[in-house]
Amino acid sequence: MTMSDRPTLAYNAITPKFGSELIDVTLLEMSDEDVEALQQLAAERGIVVVRDQEMSMQQQADFAHRLGPLSIHQTGESELPPELLLVQNDENSKRAVGGAWHSDISSEERPPALSMLRMEVVPSSGGDTLFADMYQAFEALSPEIQALAKRLTARHDSKGHHLYLRGIKTLKELPSNVHPVVRTHPRTGRNALYVNSSFVGRLMETTKLEGEAILAMLYEHIALGVSFHCRVKWKPNTVVFWDNRCVQHFATFDYFPELRRGYRATSIGGAPYLDPAAG
């Protein structure tokens, strides 16, 4: 067992540097100091897993508001609080929601900080989520590639499913935003790689051919970087927080045709930036 700097949050490490599973915690009973410590732990270790958390959809939405301003979804599902997004696959699904390496909604001007996913129904086996530590992904690059990446920016484009989430009709109404390829986390001061294959359209400072080659190399580096990956196995009433500013994730779809259902809330972060003095 490892202890965080805040004695109220005891956790087991998922890997030595990445991921944490809290011990003997009830989220709905957390103090403001505990919630602040949870957010700091997520910034430092990327992922916070909390087991056996029974709560209603509204209780989850109320707790998520304690993480900061939230993304609001206009899905037309009246029974679902607008702060929550249904994450579900079943016998009618052709692919998994989140079935590629990505950081949530990175096309926003102020992309998400923390995501909070609570799983209600899980398959008899499978359905794990893989996570990748973008601090370690950046640090594992050679100094020459690190220096190049720090000079580059990327255009992040919205995708078609955001029409459904936003309640609008055309992609032209959705934003594209340019973010640094390497961003500095405001809580830790550490640099993290910030490009993902689900949202990035192109690099801004290169030709299309050059940019595609650089991005392909970075995406392969992320996908094959098993030394900075971890895997979370879901159980009913498991809640997982991940910090999109330093983490990417990939939802497996190995359980068809069984049902997997949960609800996600997402807090809004700040505009990504690179601090030239950051490590």
Question: 3-class DSSP state for residue 35?
Answer: helix
User: What are the residue ranges of helices labelled H in the chain?
Assistant: 32-45, 57-64, 134-139, 143-150, 161-166, 208-224
Is position 80 within any domain?
yes
**CA–CA separation, 145 and 214 (whole Å):** 10
Q: What is the pLDDT of residues 206-220, one digit of tens each?
A: 999 999 999 999 999
What is the tally of structural domains in the chain?
Answer: 1
Is position 277 within any domain?
no
CA–CA distance from 55 to each of 23, 28, 40, 90 (Å)?
18, 8, 23, 23
> What pLDDT is stored for residue 170 in this prediction?
56
Is position 275 within any domain?
no
Which DSSP helix (H) or strand (E) runs through 200? strand 200-203
> What pLDDT is stored for residue 173 in this prediction?
65
> What pLDDT is stored for residue 174 in this prediction?
75
Is position 61 within any domain?
yes
Q: What is the pLDDT of residues 67-93, one digit of tens each?
A: 999 998 766 667 899 999 999 999 998
Quote the mean pLDDT of the chain.
Answer: 91
Is position 58 within any domain?
yes
Is position 45 within any domain?
yes
Domain span holding position 237: 2-268
Q: Report the half-sphere exposure of 140 (CA within 13 A, side-chain side).
A: 17
CATH code for position 45: 3.60.130.10
Q: What is the pLDDT of residues 219-255, one digit of tens each?
A: 999 999 999 999 999 999 999 999 999 999 999 999 9
Residue 7 has pLDDT above 60, yes or no: no
Between 61 and 158, name the one with better pLDDT: 61
Count, residues in the chain: 279
Q: What angle do CA 94, 97, 101 make, to 5 degrees?
A: 115
